[in-house]
Amino acid sequence: MEIESNTKQQVIVIGLNLKNNPRFNYSMEELTNLVTANNMEVVRTLVQKLDHPDAGTYFGKGKVTELGQLAHAYQINTIVANDELSPSQIRNLSKATGANVIDRTALILEIFANRARTREAKLQIQLAKLQYQLPRLHTSASQRLDQQTGTSSGGGFTNRGAGETQLELDRRTIGRKINNIRHDLKTVAKSDQTKRARRNETNLPNVALVGYTNAGKSTIMNQLVQRFGEHEKQVMVKNMLFATLDTKVRHLQFSDNKAMLLSDTIGFVSKLPHQLIQAFKSTLHEAANADLLIQVVDFSDPHRQLMMDTTKKVLEEIGITNIPMINVFNKADLTSERYPSFEDSNSLIMSANDSHSIDTLVDLIRRKIFKNYITKTLLVPFNQSSVVAYLNEHANVIQTNYLANGTKIKVEAPKEEMGRFQKFDIK
Ligand SMILES: Nc1nc2c(ncn2[C@@H]2O[C@H](COP(=O)(O)OP(=O)(O)OP(=O)(O)O)[C@@H](O)[C@H]2O)c(=O)[nH]1
Ligand SMILES: [Mg+2]
């Protein structure tokens, strides 16, 4: 549900531009989007150029004073920092400004906590939050963060009363909770593995949509499911960061009896908290096992190259390398670019809302994943009609003729599959 803008919590965002980082503006813009995604509103932005963050207060002394004055003048009681801060930086900055200080990691964890829907996603985010809180147990800022999160997400320790939660949070309790969650996650992972094994048995090509959050992955998934899958299996699309938090796999069936599995995955963002990397790893099995990755990029975003770099980095971080990838430069309808068109043979400029674009994308995907298909003409004796029936059901039958000595059938199938019918081969 949307909350009216006047009820949004107003915040000041702060960031350090270390050594004139060329990605700095992009990361500040991203932070603003993350703040908005967490139903808060950026009122002011304050940045400082430094070579290193101040070990005690993140910003340098003069800037901290300026921040305190700004917070006072605008009556803002929450400050969001663009980096992960140490517990003492949070404590000192909070004390010096009189405001609650949240760092980028806590913000992302908070968004995830509010979005998580499935049991696995909820467990993963609880685990990440506990790992974040463990070294911060005694900071006043973490108390406030606990109080905020205590009311916002379901499941686990967070749905108890805020005061009670704080009292309970000693290291031992957290340690025990972490163990319990790990145990629960193993059980969930086991049932997922079974499902995955069942899917792998089908031997279908696996294609995964990956990329930066809000690029249009789920929209593309829905367009493809609508045409080639079961209509009712649409996934959620929303104009917000991290709309998708769990991988969804759909079976797509083409009219020529070829089929594939398509996975929609969680979106990426830069400087992903390391506590969340494991969560990403476990929800990205499908991408890790894919035969083809489709990287979806918001082509209308001026930072698209940095977003692609982010995707590359996150994929590397979670160990997904060496899988063939095509690029979909989506949302071209918001630009003056002609679409659908190819930037190069692996990069399609398109719009998910345009059916011609979707056709072109499907062609591209099919060219990549059905490379191993070959066409043969077979002559199957009439007493082996089950072979003809099998081919009609599982392969792409292009032409059938009934001759005196059997059924002549021109058929397209994967090379390995075709080997089984070699004895009927007449060409
Ligand atoms: N104009 C335009 N909007 C698009 C296009 N594709 C997607 N959108 C919109 O972009 C927003 C995000 O789309 P999603 O499909 O949810 O994006 P996503 O990549 O799945 O995002 P996450 O799940 O957060 O990673 C939605 O408001 C879509 O309607 C497009 O080609 N053109
Ligand atoms: Mg999505």
Q: What is the ipTM of this complex?
A: 0.99
The pair of three-digit structure tokens given for residue 106, joined into one six-digit string: 């806590």
Which residue from 218, 250, 295, 356 has its CB within 8 A of the most atoms of ligand 1, so it is best to mutate? 218
CA 350 distance to own-chain centroid: 20
| CA pair distance 88, 85, nearest whole angstrom | 8
Tokens of 55: 């070990």
CA of 287 to the centre of ligand 1 (A): 19
Q: Do the beta carbons of residue 67 and residue 14 sit within 8 Å?
A: yes
**DSSP state letters, 359-386:** HHHHHHHHHHHTTTEEEEEEEE-GGGHH
Query: What does the pLDDT average to over 191-206?
Result: 72
Report the share of the chain in percent with pLDDT over 70: 89
pLDDT in tens, 150-183: 433 333 344 444 555 555 557 888 889 999 999 9
Q: Residue 115 CA: which ligand is closest?
A: 1
Which residue is listed with tokens 């997400």?
153
Q: Is residue 147's pLDDT more than 50?
A: no
In which element (H, E) is residue 62 found? helix 61-74
Output DSSP code: residue 319: T
Which of these ranges, 95-99, 137-141, 197-201, has the smallest mean pLDDT?
137-141
Distance between CA atoms of 93 and 89, rounded to whole angstroms? 6
Q: Give ligand 1 pocket residues (Cβ under 6 A).
A: 213-219, 237-239, 241-244, 267, 296, 330-331, 333-334, 351-353
* Amino acid residing at 156: G
Q: Is 331 labeled as ligand-binding?
A: yes
- 108, 114, 212, 214, best to mutate for ligand 1 pocket (most atoms within 8 Å of CB): 214
